[in-house]
C-alpha cells in the first residue's frame, strides 16, 4: 500500500506523521527532532536552508531568513491584514504582478506558496528517510477559518513540493481524529481549542460510533503565538526607545534577536514566575557606544499585556457555541491544541469558560499531524473507511454579489461539506442579455467587504422586461472545500460555470516551473554517491569518537589538557552541520581532519597511560 503522510504545516513549527503498522507515528526529522521549524533561508553561499539550520542562522542573516510565511498565504498584498503583519517581519515583502505578496531572498522573489513548498519538501525527505521509500501523497491540514484562497495556496505548495494532496482538512478536526482514533468512545460532544503560532480555531464536534461530525467552527487567522511574542517585542522595544531614543524594531538584525528573545521568554514563563531578557550589543549609539538590553519580565506582566488577545479567543468560542446551539456545560471534553495553549493563563481561561479541566489526552504539538495521518490512512484503507467517517463544515458563507452591491448567501457558514445549493435570481434591467456572476465568500452584507473568489459572464439571455428572466445559480463544495459555481438561464438552458482555483498568485505555468525547479533540487539531494560515501565515513567517525570520549576525558585530567578536546568537539560540530546541509566537499575535508585527530588523540591517550604507569 502506497504511504500517505499527514502534515501539519504550521506557522512556527511543522510536523509530519504516518500510520505505520496500524499505529499513528510522528516521523522525526533527519536531525532527530519531532518538530521542524517552519523557517526557510538563503545562506550567504547561496544554499537553501530549511528548518533548524535556517533558524540557527536567522540572527546573522535576518533579511534572507523567512519566518511565519503561513501568515502571507492566499492574501492580497494590499489587504489590511497583511499590511498589519509586515512591519514585524525581518525580511522584505513586495507586491507581485497580481497584488500577491512576494518575498525577496537575494536577487530572487518567491511566493508564499513556493516558500511553504520548501518546508513541505523537507518534511517529505524526512518521511522518505524514515520509511526507506518514495513518498508522493499527503493530507495537509489548514486552520479551520482559512478561506478558499488560503486553502488553494496550500494545495499549490503541496504540488510544488511534488506531493499529491489527496485531502485538505481542518486542523481542529484533525486533532479530534487523533483524540478518537482506536478508542471505543461513548456518544459525546467535544470542543477543540486550537491556538498555534499564527492562527486560532475553535470547533465543536459530535462523536458517535466512529462518526466525527463538526457542528460549528470559527476562528481568527491573525491570532496566535506570534501576537503574544509581538507584545513582548513592543514592551522591550518601547522601554529601550524611551531610554536610548532608538527603536530596535527598525533594525532587521535587532528585530530578529528580539523575536528570538520574546519567544524564549514566553516559553519560560509557562513554567516560571519571571525570566530575564539579556541582549548584549543589541545596538550602538554615536555618543554612548555599544548598548545592551536587560529586562525582567514576570508572568503577571505578560498576562496583562496579552489579556485582550485571550479575550478574543473566548469571544470566538462563545460565537461558535451559539452557532452550534450548545451550552458550555454540554461539552464533555475540551482539547487544547497548539503550543500557545501551554500558557497557564490560557489553560485557566478555558477552564473558567467550560467549568472543567481541559483534556490532556493529546499532544498539543503533534495531534494535528497525527490526525492528518489517520485521515490519509482512512482514505486508502477500505476497513478504515468503514470504521471512521469525517463530516466537516465550510467555515465561511458563500454567495454572489447582487444589485446594489449586496451579498446574497447561497451556502451559509457551518454547512456540512460536501454540499450543493442553488438559488434563483432574476434580471434587473429591461432587455438584459447577459449577467455577471461575482462569487464571494465571507459574512459581511456588502459584497465588496468579502473575499472575491472569481467571476464569469452568463451571456445569451433572451431579451425580456426586467424580472422575467430567471437565472439559477448553483454552488458545489467538495470535501476539500474547493468551490464550483454554475449559472443557468432557466428558460433557454444557456449555462456557464467556474471552478474557483485562484489564489496563490501563481499562474499554471509558474506552478509548473516552480515544481520542476523543486524536483531538480530534490535530485541533487538524492543522487550524490560521493556524498553518501562521505556520510558513511563521517558517521563511523562520530561513533568512534563517542566510544573514545570517556578515555579522552580521563586523559584530559591526567595531562592531555582540555584544548585538544575542545578542538575535537569543534571539528565534530562542524562535520555534523556539513552533513545536515549536505555540503559534500566541506564534509570530505572534515572527514580527513577527524581521521588525523582521531589517530593523534589515540596516540596521546596511549602516551598518557604509559607516563602515568611509569610514575606509579
Query: pLDDT digits over 186-196, tens only?
Result: 889 999 999 99
CB burial string 367-383: b at 16+ within 10 A, e below? bbbbbbbbbbbbbebee
Residue 241's pLDDT band, with cuts at 50, 70 and 90, is very high
Here the cell at position 338 is 497548539
Given CATH 3.20.20.70, say whether it is the number of domain 396-499: no
Say how far residue 252 (Cα) sits from the centre of its chain.
23
Q: How far apart are alpha carbons 73 and 68 in whole angstroms?
A: 10
**Cβ-based neighbours of 396, under 8 Å, separated by 6 or more:** 145, 147, 148, 413, 441, 442, 443, 451
Q: What is the pLDDT of residue 403?
A: 84
pLDDT above 90 for 260: yes
**Average of per-residue pLDDT values in the chain:** 88
Q: How far apart are alpha carbons 335 and 367 in whole angstroms?
A: 10
Q: How far apart are alpha carbons 187 and 334 in whole angstroms?
A: 15
Between CA 79 and CA 83, with CA 81 as vertex, the angle to 5 degrees is 70
Here the cell at position 475 is 454552488
Residue 561's pLDDT band, with cuts at 50, 70 and 90, is low
Out of 114, 171, 263, 489, the active site residue is: 171
Query: pLDDT digits over 195-233, tens only?
Result: 999 999 999 999 988 889 999 999 999 999 999 999 999
Query: pLDDT digits over 54-88, tens only?
Result: 998 888 898 999 999 999 998 989 988 899 889 88
pLDDT above 70 for 504: no
Query: Which of 322, 478, 325, 326 lies closest to 398, judged by CA?
Result: 478
Lowest mean per-residue pLDDT among 126-130, 152-156, 533-537: 533-537
Q: What is the pLDDT of residue 444?
A: 92
3-state secondary structure of 8: strand
Higher pLDDT, 235 or 588: 235
Q: How far apart are alpha carbons 564 and 558 in whole angstroms?
A: 13
Q: Which residue has the cell 507584545?
A: 231
pLDDT above 80 for 564: no
- Given a contact cutoff of 8 angstroms between Cβ atoms, the answer to whether 568 and 560 are in contact is no
Here the cell at position 611 is 607516563
Domain 528-615: assigned CATH number: 1.20.140
Q: How far apart are alpha carbons 33 and 130 in whole angstroms?
A: 12
Beta strands in 308-426 (DSSP E): 333-337, 389-394, 398-402, 406-411, 415-417, 419-426
Distances (CA, A) of 552 to 425, 543, 616: 84, 14, 20
How confident is the model over 150-164, as a mean pLDDT? 93
Q: What is the pLDDT of residue 336?
A: 96
Query: Which of 25, 51, 46 lies closest to 580, judged by CA?
Result: 51
Here the cell at position 512 is 509548473
Q: What is the pLDDT of residue 268?
A: 96
The 10 Å Cβ neighbour count of residue 551 is 16
Phi and psi based region of residue 140 (left: phi greater than 0; alpha: psi -120 to 50; beta: remaining): beta
Q: How far apart are alpha carbons 229 and 609 in whole angstroms?
A: 54
pLDDT above 80 for 382: no
Percentage above 90 pLDDT, the chain? 52
Identify whether 171 is a catalytic site residue. yes
**How buried is 581 (Cβ within 10 angstroms: 0-12 exposed, 13-18 middle, 19+ buried)?**
middle
Distances (CA, A) of 610 to 288, 294, 561, 564, 599: 57, 52, 16, 19, 17
- Given a contact cutoff of 8 angstroms between Cβ atoms, the answer to whether 200 and 395 are in contact is no
Phi, psi of 494 (to 5 degrees): -60, 135
3-state secondary structure of 133: coil
pLDDT above 60 for 501: no
Per CATH, which fold does 4-223+310-392 belong to?
Nucleotidyltransferase; domain 5 (3.30.420)
Query: pLDDT digits over 431-463, tens only?
Result: 888 888 888 899 999 998 888 887 888 888 888
Q: How far apart are alpha carbons 212 and 216 in whole angstroms?
A: 12
For the CA atoms of the chain, what is the radius of gyration? 28
How confident is the model over 475-500, as a mean pLDDT? 79
Q: Which residue has the cell 563517542?
A: 546
- Given a contact cutoff of 8 angstroms between Cβ atoms, the answer to whether 201 and 171 are in contact is yes
pLDDT above 80 for 528: no
DSSP of 577-602: HHHHTT-HHHHHHHHHHHHHHHHHHH
pLDDT above 90 for 259: yes
Phi, psi of 561 (to 5 degrees): 90, 160
pLDDT above 60 for 527: no
**Cβ-based neighbours of 550, under 8 Å, separated by 6 or more:** none
Higher pLDDT, 611 or 440: 440
Ordered by start, the domain boundaries in the chain are: 4-223+310-392, 396-499, 528-615
Here the cell at position 603 is 596516540
How confident is the model over 334-355, as a mean pLDDT? 96
Taking the whole predicted model, whether its pTM rises above 0.85 is answered as: no
Identify whether 392 is a catalytic site residue. no
DSSP of 38-99: --EEE-TTS-EEETHHHHHTTTTTGGGEE--GGGGTT--TTSHHHHHHGGG-SSEEEE-TTS
- In 189-341, which residue ranges form alpha helices assigned H by DSSP? 225-244, 252-268, 299-305, 307-324
CB burial string 523-544: b at 16+ within 10 A, e below? eeeeeeeebeebbebbeebeee
Here the cell at position 351 is 477552564
Is the previous residue joined to 575 through a cis bond, with omega within 30 degrees of 0?
no
Identify whether 108 is a catalytic site residue. no
Helix, strand counts (H, E) of the chain: 16, 28
pLDDT above 50 for 385: no
Q: How far apart are alpha carbons 333 and 286 in whole angstroms?
A: 58
Out of 194, 227, 366, 489, the active site residue is: 194
- Given a contact cutoff of 8 angstroms between Cβ atoms, the answer to whether 206 and 148 are in contact is no
Identify whether 243 is a catalytic site residue. no
- Given a contact cutoff of 8 angstroms between Cβ atoms, the answer to whether 233 and 241 are in contact is no
Residue 255's pLDDT band, with cuts at 50, 70 and 90, is very high
Residue 383's pLDDT band, with cuts at 50, 70 and 90, is low
pLDDT above 90 for 507: no
Amino acid at each position: 500500500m502506497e504511504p500517505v503522510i499527514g502534515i501539519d504545516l504550521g506557522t512556527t513549527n511543522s510536523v509530519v506523521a504516518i500510520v505505520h503498522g496500524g499505529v499513528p507515528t510522528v516521523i522525526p526529522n533527519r536531525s532527530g527532532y519531532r518538530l521542524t521549524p517552519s523557517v526557510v533561508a538563503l545562506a550567504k553561499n547561496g544554499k537553501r536552508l530549511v528548518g533548524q539550520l535556517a533558524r540557527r542562522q536567522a540572527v546573522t542573516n535576518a533579511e534572507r531568513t523567512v519566518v511565519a510565511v503561513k501568515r502571507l498565504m492566499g492574501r492580497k498584498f494590499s489587504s489590511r491584514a497583511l499590511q498589519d503583519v509586515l512591519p514585524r517581519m525581518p525580511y522584505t515583502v513586495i507586491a507581485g504582478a497580481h497584488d500577491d505578496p512576494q518575498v525577496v531572498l537575494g536577487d530572487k522573489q518567491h511566493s508564499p506558496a513556493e516558500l511553504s513548498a520548501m518546508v513541505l519538501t523537507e518534511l517529505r525527505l524526512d518521511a522518505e528517510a524514515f520509511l526507506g521509500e518514495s513518498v508522493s501523497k499527503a493530507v495537509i491540514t489548514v486552520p479551520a477559518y482559512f478561506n478558499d484562497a488560503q486553502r488553494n495556496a496550500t494545495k499549490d505548495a503541496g504540488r510544488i513540493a511534488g506531493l499529491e494532496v489527496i485531502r485538505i482538512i481542518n486542523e481542529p478536526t484533525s486533532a479530534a481524529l487523533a483524540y478518537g482514533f482506536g478508542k471505543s468512545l461513548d456518544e459525546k460532544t467535544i470542543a477543540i481549542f486550537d491556538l498555534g503560532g499564527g492562527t486560532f480555531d475553535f470547533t465543536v464536534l459530535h462523536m458517535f460510533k466512529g462518526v466525527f461530525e463538526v457542528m460549528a467552527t470559527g476562528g481568527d487567522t491573525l491570532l496566535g503565538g506570534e501576537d503574544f511574542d509581538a507584545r513582548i517585542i513592543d514592551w522591550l522595544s518601547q522601554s529601550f526607545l524611551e531610554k536610548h531614543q532608538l527603536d530596535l524594531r527598525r533594525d532587521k538584525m535587532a528585530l530578529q534577536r528580539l523575536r528570538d528573545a520574546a519567544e524564549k521568554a514566553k516559553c519560560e514563563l509557562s513554567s516560571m514566575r519571571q525570566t530575564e531578557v539579556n541582549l548584549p550589543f543589541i545596538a550602538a549609539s554615536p555618543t554612548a557606544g555599544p548598548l545592551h538590553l536587560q529586562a525582567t519580565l514576570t508572568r503577571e506582566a505578560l498576562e496583562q499585556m496579552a489579556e485582550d488577545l485571550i479575550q478574543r479567543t473566548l469571544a470566538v468560542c462563545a460565537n461558535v457555541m451559539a452557532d452550534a446551539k450548545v451550552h458550555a456545560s454540554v461539552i464533555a471534553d475540551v482539547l487544547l491544541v497548539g503550543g500557545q495553549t501551554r500558557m497557564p493563563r490560557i489553560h485557566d481561561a478555558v477552564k473558567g469558560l467550560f467549568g472543567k479541566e481541559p483534556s490532556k489526552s493529546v499532544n498539543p504539538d503533534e495531534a494535528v499531524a497525527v490526525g492528518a495521518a489517520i485521515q490519509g490512512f482512512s482514505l486508502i484503507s477500505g476497513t478504515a473507511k468503514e470504521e471512521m467517517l469525517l463530516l466537516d463544515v465550510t467555515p465561511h458563507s458563500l454567495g454572489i454579489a447582487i444589485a446594489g452591491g449586496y451579498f446574497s448567501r447561497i451556502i451559509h457558514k457551518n454547512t456540512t461539506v460536501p454540499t450543493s445549493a442553488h438559488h434563483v435570481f432574476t434580471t434587473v434591467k429591461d432587455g438584459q442579455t447577459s449577467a455577471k456572476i461575482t462569487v464571494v465568500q465571507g459574512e459581511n452584507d456588502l459584497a465588496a467587504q468579502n473575499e472575491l473568489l472569481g467571476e464569469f459572464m452568463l451571456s445569451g439571455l433572451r431579451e425580456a422586461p426586467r424580472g422575467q428572466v430567471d437565472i439559477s445559480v448553483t454552488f458545489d463544495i467538495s470535501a476539500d472545500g474547493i468551490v464550483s459555481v454554475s449559472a443557468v438561464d432557466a428558460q433557454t438552458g444557456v449555462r456557464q460555470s467556474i471552478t474557483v482555483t485562484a489564489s496563490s498568485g501563481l499562474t499554471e505555468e509558474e506552478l509548473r516551473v516552480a515544481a520542476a525547479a523543486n524536483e531538480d533540487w530534490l535530485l541533487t539531494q538524492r543522487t550524490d554517491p560521493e556524498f553518501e560515501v562521505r556520510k558513511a565515513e563521517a558517521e563511523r567517525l562520530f561513533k568512534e569518537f563517542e566510544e573514545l570520549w570517556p578515555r579522552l576525558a580521563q586523559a584530559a585530567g591526567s595531562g592531555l589538557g582540555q584544548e585538544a578536546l575542545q578542538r575535537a568537539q569543534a571539528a565534530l560540530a562542524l562535520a555534523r552541520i556539513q552533513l545536515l546541509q549536505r555540503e559534500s566537499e566541506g564534509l570530505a575535508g572534515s572527514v580527513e581532519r577527524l581521521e588525523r585527530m582521531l589517530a593523534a588523540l589515540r596516540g596521546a591517550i596511549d602516551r598518557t597511560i604509559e607516563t602515568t604507569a611509569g610514575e606509579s
